[in-house]
A and B are shown apart, each in its own frame.
Chain A
Amino acid sequence: MSKPQSPPSLSVAYLGDRFATVLVWLTGLLALALPLAILGFLAVRGMHVMCWEFLLSGPSGVPLGSAGGIGPAILGTLYLVGMGLAVALPLGVGGGIYLSEFAPCAFWVRLLEFAAECLGAIPAVIYGLFGYALLVVFLAMNISLLAGGLTLGMMMFPIILIGSRAALAAVPSLERESALALGVSRSWVARRILLPRAWPGIAASAVLAAGHAAGSAAPVMFTASTVFTVTNPAMTTPVMTLPTHLYNLVSEAVSFDHAYGTALVLVVGILLVNALSMLLRRRLPEHY
């Protein structure tokens, strides 16, 4: 007679399975809890400075930034990101169309994708140094909106290129084939069919890149930012930005209340941008 087996509830396999289930649940909850905790922490510490004056007026007080608001920093960030997008969006989408429709062979596609992924993985501070050396010094653009916008454009370019390529590749190949079977050119197909189909994915990657750029201090620190401005942003003058303003408030111990308020505005802005990106992705073809 064989030895009786232990009931399922006590077996090692069952206990191991329960342990693994609990572990993956906990790690999953951590992914939700961490951003919520950061947002909650910033809300608790920074919410009391939040008012229209904080959002719209410039910094004031002694030391500068201990009173007043972050209006010029919000405006400067929007101008910089807008300018970066104006450069990176056409280049990134063009590169995505090339990789998806015109690249001569799979090896070439893999090589260019690898290069774009490497470009996307370069630390933001390196973009800052490169932008400073090339744009600010070599091309004599000085520290300005133009130099900072172009630096952010360089940083956004690989993100938009990779996202555009993926969105275009997600368009059903039968549509591409049916269109090309009519004897039309690939650029005609790209303009009339692929871009209308892929635009939610392209827009999502652009929004994601914009959110990433808006939150980065390093690329604009040496190329565009200043501690204080009173004029509206102009191409040839430096601008205030949210991340560099936050850096100044904390590193100079100017005002931690204002620093938390600034961080709250930045994080909520980036969350909204990411939510918009997710919404756009949901409009892609089903198999994306």
Chain B
Amino acid sequence: MPNSPSLAPTLEVRDLQVHYGRSSALTNISCRIPSRQVTAVMGPSGCGKSTFIKTLNRTLELTPRARVRGGSVLYRGHDIYASACNVDDIRKQIGIIHQRPVSFPMSIKENVLFGARFHKLVRRADETDYARKYLERVGLWNEVRDRLGAHAGTLSGGQQQRLCLARTLANQPTVILMDEPCSALDPAATRRIEELIIELERDYTIVIVTHNMSQARRVSRNALFFYDGRLMEAGPTQQIFEDPRESLTREFVTGQIG
């Protein structure tokens, strides 16, 4: 069973099996996601990377015909697929950022407060300060401080992605999942997001799906390599890139497959 090093895991996946309809998407996935570190999920297109991270906060259930058919995902030792587990609590604790930034049809400030208001994390009188705190955290405050009431759709792609991150952070999660968060961004916006990921590592457990091997090397300490719905190798990012155990991993990191 491929596993990351024996650091205290925030998430632990055991024998996970996922199907889309009758076809298998993930087979017998087992791994540990260490606390307060960045873990990169790599692999060629269609290998199950996005499916995998969506299983970590039960957002896979929002995809029609997708089903977890076996195994478990433990968050702080508790199975998030247990019937007693509250799915809304799990999604609050384990946030996700999508490939394409999705701003909601409301103001910048309302976007930041969208989940926090529902979870009653902020009093009405403190809303502006609360929004400011998370906009500052993602480095967006100085760019939007004079137009908090403006429609979020007026922001650039990179700004919208940081807004999505602020919205997720405002939910006070402990884990942040990122599904190719830079794939729709220009190089400058990508660099800004990568800097943020490294900053956030101090306080959050981060799992990032990326196609970009250079990015995986820059931002992550651990890496998981998926191929054809299977986890082929897991370990420290440096070891995965410099001394992979599996030949498929070697072929992927050297660009022979992808």
Chain A residues within 8 Å of B, Cβ to Cβ? 172, 174-185, 188, 192-193, 196-197
A178 contacts across to B, CB distance below 8 A = 98, 102, 104, 164
Which residues of chain A are within 8 angstroms of B88 by Cβ–Cβ distance?
183-185
A183–B106 touching, CB < 8 Å: no
Question: Is A193 a contact of B104 with CB atoms below 8 Å?
Answer: yes
A174's partner among B57, B87, B100, B119 (CB-CB below 8 A) is: B100
Complex contact B106–A196 (CB within 8 A): yes
Contacts of B114 in A (CB 8 A): 179, 182, 184, 192
Q: Write the B57-90 contact mask toward A (1 if CB under 8 angstroms, else 0).
A: 1010010000000000000000000000001111
Within 8 A of A (CB), among B93-121: 93, 95-96, 98, 100, 102, 104-106, 114-115, 118-119
CB-based contact B104/A192 at 8 Å: yes
Q: Which residues of A contact B51 (CB under 8 A)?
A: none
Q: Which residues of B contact A174 (CB under 8 A)?
A: 98, 100, 102
B32 sits at the interface (CB 8 A) = no
- Shortest C-beta distance, A209 to chain B (Å), equals 25
Check if B4 is an interface residue, CB within 8 A of chain A.
Answer: no
CB within 8 Å for A179 and B104 given contacts A184-B114, A188-B118: yes
In the assembled complex, the CB of B54 is this many whole angstroms from the nearest CB of chain A, namely 9
Contact A182-B57, Cβ < 8 Å, known A174-B100, A175-B102, A177-B62: no
Residue of A nearest to B93 (CB): A183
Whether B171 is near chain A, meaning CB under 8 Å from some CB there, is yes
A41 to nearest B CB, angstroms? Answer: 45
| Chain B residue contacts of A175, Cβ below 8 A | 102, 104
CA distance A181 to B102 in the complex (A): 12
B49, chain A: closest CB distance, angstroms: 17
Cβ < 8 Å to A, chain B residues 180-198? none
Cα distance A178–B96 when bound, in Å?
8
What residues of chain B have their CB less than 8 Å away from a CB belonging to chain A? 57, 59, 62, 87-93, 95-96, 98, 100, 102, 104-106, 114-115, 118-119, 164, 167-168, 171
The reply to whether B59 and A180 contact each other, CB–CB distance below 8 Å, is yes
- Cα A176 to Cα B61 in complex, Å, equals 13
Most interface-central of B91, B98, B104 (chain A CB within 10 A): B104
Q: Are A182 and B100 in contact (CB under 8 A)?
A: no
Contacts of A176 in B (CB 8 A): 62
Instruction: Tell me whether A183 and B105 are in contact in the complex, defined as CB-CB below 8 angstroms, given that A174-B98, A177-B62, A178-B164 are known contacts.
Output: no
Output the nearest chain B residue to A193 by Cβ-Cβ distance. Answer: B104
Q: Determine if A183 and B98 form an interchain contact, defined as CB atoms under 8 angstroms apart.
A: no
Given known A177-B62, A178-B102, contact A183–B92 (CB-CB < 8 A) = yes
Residue pairs across A and B with Cβ atoms less than 8 A apart, 7 shown, are A178-B102, A179-B114, A181-B62, A181-B96, A182-B92, A184-B115, A196-B106
CB distance from B18 to the nearest CB of A (A): 17
Question: Known contacts being A174-B102, A175-B102, A196-B105, is A185 close to B118, with CB within 8 Å?
Answer: yes
Contact call B62/A182, Cβ cutoff below 8 A: no
Other contacts beyond A181-B96, A182-B115, A183-B91: 7, CB < 8 A:
A174-B100, A176-B62, A178-B98, A178-B104, A179-B104, A181-B91, A182-B171
Once the chains are docked, how many angstroms separate the CA of A182 from the CA of B118?
A: 9
How far, in angstroms, from A174 to B102 measured CA to CA in the complex? 7
List of B residues within 8 angstroms of A180 by Cβ = 59, 62, 91
User: Which A residues are CB-close (under 8 A) to B90?
Assistant: 183
CA distance A193 to B152 in the complex (A): 13
Nearest CB on B from A110, distance (A) = 14
A197 to B106, CA, bound (A): 10
Complex Cα–Cα for A241 and B119 (A):
51
Q: B59 near A182 (CB under 8 angstroms)?
A: no
Q: Which residues of A contact B118 (CB under 8 A)?
A: 182-185, 188
> Which residues of chain A are near B115, meaning CB under 8 Å?
182-184
Give CA–CA (A172, B95) in the complex, Å.
Answer: 20
Contact of A197 among B59, B92, B105, B167 (CB under 8 A): B105
Query: Which residues on A sit within 8 Å (CB–CB) of B102?
Result: 172, 174-175, 178
B171 to A, closest residue via Cβ: A182
Q: How far is the CA of A184 from the CA of B119 in the complex (A)?
A: 8
| A124–B92 alpha-carbon span in the complex (Å) | 50
A181 to B89, CA, bound (A): 10
Residue of A nearest to B96 (CB): A181
B191 → chain A closest CB, angstroms: 24
Residues of B near A188 (CB, < 8 A) are 118
Contacts of B62 in A (CB 8 A): 176-177, 180-181
Which residues of chain B are within 8 angstroms of A177 by Cβ–Cβ distance? 59, 62, 98
Interchain CA distance A181-B88 in the complex, whole Å: 8
Q: Which residues of B contact A193 (CB under 8 A)?
A: 104-105
CA gap between A143 and B93 in the complex, in Å:
59
Say whether A182 contacts B98, CB under 8 Å: no
Closest 9 CB pairs of A and B: A183-B92, A182-B115, A183-B91, A178-B102, A184-B118, A183-B88, A181-B96, A181-B59, A177-B62
A172 to B104 alpha-carbon distance, docked (Å): 11
B87: nearest chain-A partner, CB-CB: A183
